Structure 1
């Protein structure tokens, strides 16, 4: 892969020649030492360099890779985990991954299959002797040397060479006694090559998980498929835990060994030495004496694109979303209830609409993410930035209809930018004078209706009123919340609320709001577990219920039900949701197939809940009636935004800023739009700067209005036509 303009010329004294690949954590370059030695240099992405947890993981990767030696791993040559951009150099291995080899040439013949199993077992023996567990042994982490066939005379016997196999990428490995454990809720591994315990107890896995992966790799190398192949990650996880492996045309002589490697219980799997002994007992030629493919004649399979290794360890800042529903038509519509509004995509696009895109406003540095925050709505796309209080883009053309300039003093620092909030024909944003107050504008004309002097911590449009968290955020558990009429600015009520939740109020049904009044007990002070219900206009308390016990985040309230996520040891990830009827208090739970990182509230529509897992860039759909997962999107799709649902389609933005439509019943892709281009004549990179892997997923879901979809990313704002 050729170098880009922003790629370095050298790293740690190694001259950079080309790119080998890129992934979620960093870029891998081909480099040369002063003596001409070829090395693979892995450099961490900029956004992770200041993340202490990520640096700890990278130090662990370097330490683990240095501890491992042997003929079948790529040794570490040099590293600097404390550099501004941490990096590690390993001996360069020229060759294809096992995934590429199988895609290009089909399954391995018997001699090479047997040899692959032996060399993988020897590699694991050395890895485990160093008290390291790889945890992500998969086809793309196994390299097959280009010279292997020639070096051994072409017969795959392996005599007289250093082996054809190299195990690479210790990015999620750990030492057996390491204190650095999974903290971000990533799916640590790659279905369908993960052992059952990696789903059920990911923090307690040991060397047997690598043996399980070895068994799965042998099936893959012999048949072109994993023994737990599935349409999506959830089904692969389910089959791994509950179903027997599908061995396909795996040679009979290998089946007993592979089945023992794929045992559900870790204690029932062999050690690397036992695998070597079992392979040594097998004949050098296949069961029929042939040296052709282990599966017989095999059609050449097309090359597939390289899969991104999706690891998103940094937190993603969320842009405020629109408060309730959207209107049924462009321009001049009125707000509807939650989940309502908008015409179906099949209704077609409005007259005069054309696809458009507007690059995000930059804060003086083209390589920094945009500081602009935008909210799409039926009456327009509204944007705020440190230099512009509010801008309205025409939803038909993307042209600026009006702009409200910023009047704050130049000395003002720490100005907060959030996505404008739209409701009741009004747009709310932080005040133009920079005090942290709230300005209310007419959504169509841009006329300012009223101003609330600040500073204020946050504001939300909930159940027909604007609820303002008065004053700045502080360490106090007691805050004042005041509700205002959205058009006149008249104060409706105020409550002094004591809560451990930074944002206490949530929209409820039938003109109500809920308040999270839970507080943890302190010495001499009793706690509270109450979720209270108020009339949104009068502020009168209507009732309350006790929330479920435990360290739970009230992620969202929908249709009178509270959705609580259970944190895993304060890690910010969750493997279980609790759903409570906030009138009766009845509670039920839903287990996830793995620990997810729900950075934003889930989307509830009908009897389904859709949750964007930031860490793995997937959408997880759950059946709320049965309390079971429905499907997940494939990690190869790489969902890059919060989802939205309209009709029977789920929409999400992709890394290239295209929009994908997914069938909400099956999780399968229906179509995707063309990607808008944010490039200009002076910029060879995207407007957001850097590669896709330098960017963060969007906190704004695509908005479907009629036959048009509106998207917001750090690149900019765009509209595209829905396809069906």
Structure 2
């Protein structure tokens, strides 16, 4: 029978216990960690040789799978394209263009044009693409039809940042050739119009937002070395002529430079995760930025950090371990065992981030598998 496209959460999803599961998704080729998306009560994953598969989040059962040629790189994580009565999920095997699939049964839909290597960002009803040379375009997330193409005003070669659902904007950034300044801005996905932009000192890029809407930038010293967080506060909401481009700017210096691989922000606290597993919590609301704690997780070559409920933060390591951190205490409270192909540790070029949904945490491992554990019992993982 065809799975429901977007059914209400199964009663078991709110059950009092969850046993967890572990499923090998990749069958052929050199194993690599799959990348997944949890959306509308379903789990969608891509892997080498697997364009897209839908898994039951409760049991790990593969409901359907669409194969693909085994590529040279691990795939990008699937993305939500469209909801409603006929939801769509997008997947992009590497190398390969973004393609839409029906969420219910995996029927292939539109395929994005891919003249040059592009980065893309789903943004509501639109998917934004950047060719890396200054051209942006937006396509309809449901039909794949191109809506617009333009070069954004004030930018030569902008880098796409995250889509911010509350404002409906996509962050863009560009650093000057000499690294002494950066232009930060926001683009309206429906038209590609630059809504606002401003120049900040140094090599900086957007990494998140605080609870009051302040944009947080990581100020890079060299490469991935971060020496400060830059806070761009929004302008006065009661002043029609005021906006993010006219608001205040404050710099929060770190006590030492840090090689940052990912940042997560909750309230006024920024969690900076280095590639070697060091996790630093900084309260950006403090006058000079207060270091709350500094933790060595014991992992290396890690994913981006992901925040969950109950003061929890999760990350994955290149050896397949999934970590849970108590952000109130700055302590690792649980970790799963390593899951390596043939028991051998190789170097992972990318480590997909875990996902958190309905008291469960979903992770992937370099043996080509997907796993799920109960978030409430991290101590017994």
* 1:515 and 2:177 matched: no
Q: Which TM-score applies when normalising by structure 2? A: 0.76
Instruction: Pick one of 69, 80, 88 that aligns with 1:422.
Output: 80
Higher relative contact order (CA 8 A, sep 6+): 2
- 2:326 pairs with one of 643, 651, 663: 663
Distance in 1, matches of 2:172 and 2:223, equals 25
Note if 1:482 corresponds to 2:137. yes
Determine if contact 1:511/1:537 at 8 Å carries over to the other structure: no
Please, which of 287, 291, 294 is the counterpart of residue 632 of structure 1? 294
- 2:111 aligns with one of 451, 466, 480: 451
Distance of aligned partners of 1:720 and 1:556 in 2 relative to their CA distance in 1, 3 Å threshold: same
Structure-to-structure mapping, 1:240-259, within 5 angstroms: none
Conserved 8 A contact 1:501-1:518: no
Q: Structure 1 residues 420 and 529, CA, compared in 2 at 3 Å: closer, same or farther?
A: same
Aligned residues, how many?
A: 349
Indicate conservation of the 8 Å contact 1:376/1:710, yes or no: no
**What's the offset of the Cα at 1:510?**
2.1
Q: Does 1:712 align with 2:364?
A: yes
Distance 1:398 1:383 in 2: 11
Q: Counterpart of 2:137 in 1: which secondary structure?
A: strand
Tell me which residue corresponds to 1:10: none
Name the structure with the higher helix share.
1
From 646, 649, 652, give the equivalent of 2:308.
646
Runs of 4+ in 1 over 6 A off after TM superposition: none
Q: 2:21 aligns with which of 356, 361, 375?
A: 356
- Which residue is equivalent to 2:60? 398
Q: 1:688 to 1:629 in 2, by over 3 A?
A: farther
| Structure 1 residues 676 and 530: alpha-carbon distance in aligned structure 2, compared to 1, 3 A threshold | closer
Distance 1:551 1:517 in 2: 8
Between structures 1 and 2, the one with greater strand share: 2
Per the alignment, residue 35 of structure 2 pairs with 374
C-alpha separation between the residues in 1 aligned to 2:18 and 2:5?
A: 12
Query: Residue in 2 aligned with 1:442?
Result: 102
How far apart in 1 are the matches of 2:338 and 2:15?
A: 23
Bigger radius of gyration: 1
1:604 aligns with: 265
2:279 aligned with 1:619: yes
Taking the aligned partners of 1:529 and 1:638, their CA distance within structure 2 comes to 30
The Cα of 1:696 is off from its aligned counterpart by: 4.8
Contact 2:52 2:66 in 1 (8 A): yes
SS at match of 2:341: coil
* CA deviations over 1:539-569 (Å, ceiling 9, x no partner): 344333x23112334444667543332333x
State the shift of 1:653 in Å.
4.2
- Cα deviation, 1:572-611, whole Å, max 9, x if unaligned, reads 31222212233434211222233211123x1111121111
1:352/1:396 contact within 8 Å kept: no
Corresponding residue number in structure 2 for 1:532: 185
1:357-390 Cα offsets, whole Å, 9 max, x none, are 123626634xxxx345311313433333442222
Deviation at 1:701, TM superposition (A): 3.1
| In structure 2, C-alpha distance between the alignment counterparts of 1:621 and 1:391, rounded to whole Å | 36
Separation (CA, whole Å) in 1 of partners of 2:47 and 2:316? 24
TM-score by length of 1: 0.43
The residue number in structure 2 matching 1:55 is none
Determine helix, strand or coil for the equivalent of 2:53: strand
CA distance in 2, matches of 1:521, 1:660: 38
Aligned equivalents of 1:401, 1:452: Cα separation in 2 = 25
Identify which of 351, 357, 361 aligns with 1:699: 351
Unaligned runs of 5+ in 2: 234-243
Give the conservation status (yes or no) of the 8 Å contact 2:230–2:251.
yes
Matches within 5 A, 1:18-417: 332=6, 349-350=14-15, 354-359=19-24, 361=26, 364-365=29-30, 370-378=31-39, 379-406=41-68, 417=75
1:288-330 Cα offsets, whole Å, 9 max, x none, are: xxxxxxxxxxxxxxxxxxxxxxxxxxxxxxxxxxxxxxxxxx9
Aligned position for 1:495: 150
Q: Partners of 1:640 and 1:689 in 2: how far apart? A: 18
Is the 2:29–2:48 Cα contact (8 Å) retained in structure 1? no
The 3-state SS of whatever aligns with 1:723 is helix
**Which residue does 1:504 correspond to in 2?**
160
Aligned match for 2:202, one of 550, 559, 563:
550
What SS does the aligned partner of 1:548 have?
Answer: strand
1:466 is aligned, of 127, 152, 158, to 127
